[in-house]
Amino acid sequence: MATDMKGSVLMDRFEIGRMLGQGTFAKVYHGKNIATHQSVAIKVIDKEKIAKVGLMDQIKREIKVMNVVRHPHIVQLYEVMATKSKIYFVLEYVRGGELFNKVSKGRLREDVARKYFQQLISAVDFCHSRKVYHRDLKPENLLLDENGNLKVSDFGLSALAESKRVDGLLHTTCGTPAYVAPEVINRKGYDGAKADIWSCGVILFVLLAGFLPFHDQNLMEMYRKIGKAEYKFPHWFSPDVRRLLTRILDPNPNTRITTQRIMENPWFRKGLDDRYVRRSSNNSNMNNVEAKEISPINLTCCEENNVVEGKISNLNAFDIISLSAGFDLSGLFEESDKRKEERFTSGKPASAIISKIEEIAKKLRLKVTKKDGGILKMEGVKQGRKGAVGIDAEIFEVTPDFHLVEMKKANGDTLEYQRMWKQEMRPALKDIVWAWQGEQPQVQKA
């Protein structure tokens, strides 16, 4: 990854400005949409580094989660782009910094803390209605916009319902120790929603007190206190907030209060208008009328140096941008039991690709039928052990001169198809192939 990207232009659309922060695998820059002048945050991830340490699944999960949880109090992911070496997250730019910075200056007034807590619970309840669990809620992951409204960020440790084992529980120990629920620590499996609620309770305590409820220099002693919910309320905590926190910081997840009950609590509802009332009792996904459906994240393939926008239609975007074996994100966008297919990219126009496939089919005595949407169906005239071999080819346009081609067996005998593919079709396609999935690009003939 380049040392500094300031001043460069991404995809002819985003001007990259100063660096906002950096970690081991990513850097975050301030950016500006050139057309609209809208400020964004651009997270630049080094693909090689995350592949080496096995973080592909975490990146996959973060993209998938942020496409599911579109809410006014959650940092929005606008777009995902990638080159062969980098992934770019174009995110909502949140100007106000971390909520942690406010708390580090001292405790907040009760009404201010309550407003942030209301917005936090609104966002968390929305996530849970989408079967998404954050698992690392803490003030450092809560940002404030220019209007002082809270935005939940950093879904890198989030888990989807599909991460649960057959017992219906999550089993990955993660999060920040002081905010982690007792059941997460004991490694016996936990309900992600109940664990998030505990973390929200710790956050509320911190906002009102200015310090943590569970703290000790000895980590095991701190874990013991968490396990027994051993903490003391400061004298300035009102009786109502004490009662609510006692229900939230319940070490037994089975009796711990739910987000729905929190939202019905009298202390929680003070100063709250009807916009935050759950609109139905059937676990509605839209518990906040401000929460609106936003179109899915735009996934774009980019050229390495100065990115060119591509049209992607009905396409597993990361099959294009992640052709390296070991960084295939196609599982995000297709069923895992899909039949085996071969994919390659080509720098030729669609007409040239179609002509080449037709030429090969003619030599192999395959009848070609063209369908709408760039689909070619090829079928042998000779009957094999399981009927005539059939092959489907589908062409996806990324740019007018850059395409992804997907080919797979449609019918017939598998061994006969594999022999035809390996010995005749694949070698004959080399003139139009830029890169096979999982292989390095090859030099094309002029």
Residues making up the annotated binding site for ATP are 43
Distance CA(200)–CA(206), nearest Å, equals: 10
Helix (H) or strand (E) holding 56: helix 56-68
Distance CA(39)–CA(17), nearest Å, equals: 10
Residues making up the annotated binding site are 43
Task: Using alpha carbons, select from 141, 91, 136 the residue that is nearest to residue 116.
Answer: 141
Distance CA(391)–CA(365), nearest Å, equals: 12
Catalytic positions? 136
Within a 13 Å sphere around the CA of 249, how many CA atoms are in the beta-carbon half?
27
Distance CA(22)–CA(29), nearest Å, equals: 9
Longest Cα separation, the chain = 87
Q: Which residues contact 325 (CB under 8 A, 6 or more apart)?
A: 437, 438, 439
For residue 346 the two structure tokens come to 């080509």
The answer to whether 100 and 140 are in contact (CB under 8 A) is yes
Task: Using alpha carbons, select from 160, 191, 132, 138 the residue that is nearest to residue 57.
Answer: 160
Beta bridge partners of 88: 44, 81
Distances (CA, A) of 276 to 40, 66, 204, 264, 280: 27, 22, 18, 10, 12
